[in-house]
């Protein structure tokens, strides 16, 4: 019985050590699948006209400096 408990302890510790690596591997594979699908969709779309997309510009808001007289 003592040998079986020792085996279970080693198996549980081994699983705890491998769990983060396996979770990371599964996450990386999911991200790779999503990137491949996005690339496939991008290539399947017809090319857009050159003037259709306009760049988005934002204006900066000027904030007074702390302690500056307004």
Quickly list DSSP for 5-63.
HHHHHHHHHHHHHHHHHHHHHHHHHHHHHHHHHHHHHHHHSPPPPTTT------PPPPP
Sign for the pseudo-dihedral over CA of 37, 38, 41, 43: negative
Q: Are 70 and 64 in contact (CB under 8 A)?
A: yes
Question: How confident is the prediction along the chain (70 residues), in pLDDT tens digits per residue?
Answer: 899 999 999 999 999 999 999 999 999 999 999 999 998 888 887 666 555 566 667 677 666 666 655 5
CA separation for the pair 62, 67 (Å, rounded): 15
Q: 0.75 cut: is pTM over it?
A: no
């Amino acid at each position: 019985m003592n040998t079986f408990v020792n085996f279970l302890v080693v198996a549980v510790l081994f699983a705890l050590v491998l769990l983060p690596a396996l979770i990371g591997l599964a996450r990386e594979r999911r991200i790779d699948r999503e990137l491949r699908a996005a690339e496939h969709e991008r290539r399947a779309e017809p090319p857009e006209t050159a003037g259709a997309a306009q760049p988005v510009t934002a204006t900066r808001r000027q904030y007074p400096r702390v302690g500056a007289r307004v």
